Amino acid sequence: MRARRRLAWLPWLLSLPILFFLAIWILGWALVHPVMRDVGAPPSDLPARSVMIFDASGHPMGGWFVPGVEHQGAVLLLHGVRANRLSMVDRARFLHTAGYAVLLIDFQASGQSPGDAITFGYREADDVKAALRYLRHQLPGERIGVIGTSMGGAATILAGPDAQADAIVLEQVYPTIRQALEDRLAIRLGTVGRWLAPVLLATLHGHLDIYPEQLRPIDHIGSLLSPKLLIVGDRDRHTTLAESYAMVQAARAPKELWIVRSAEHVDLCRYAGDAYQRKVLQFFAAHLRGG
HEC secondary structure over 70-129: CCCCEEEEECCCCCCHHHHHHHHHHHHHCCCEEEEECCCCEECECCCCCCCCCCHHHHHH
What pLDDT score was predicted for residue 152? 98
The tens place of each residue's pLDDT in the chain, 291 residues long, gives 555 555 455 565 556 677 767 877 788 888 899 999 999 999 999 999 999 999 888 999 999 999 999 999 999 999 999 999 999 999 999 999 999 999 999 999 999 999 999 999 999 999 999 999 999 999 999 999 999 999 999 999 999 887 779 999 999 999 999 999 999 999 988 877 788 888 889 888 899 999 999 999 999 999 999 999 999 999 999 999 999 999 999 999 999 999 999 999 999 999 999 999 999 999 999 999 976
What pLDDT score was predicted for residue 155? 98
What pLDDT score was predicted for residue 8? 53
- Residue 257 to residue 243: CA distance in whole angstroms: 13
pTM value is 0.93
What pLDDT score was predicted for residue 28? 87
Torsion angles phi and psi, residue 170, rounded to 5? -115, 120
What pLDDT score was predicted for residue 180? 96
Picking from 140, 155, 144, 162, the residue whose alpha carbon sits closest to that of residue 56 is 162
SS (H, E, C) 170-194: EECCCCCHHHHHHHHHHHHHCHHHH
What pLDDT score was predicted for residue 193? 76
Centre a 10 Å sphere on the Cβ of residue 276 and count the other Cβ atoms it contains. Answer: 22
Domains of the chain: 1-32+178-214 (no CATH), 38-176+216-288 (3.40.50.1820)
| Helix 124-138 with 151-159: angle, nearest 10 deg | 70
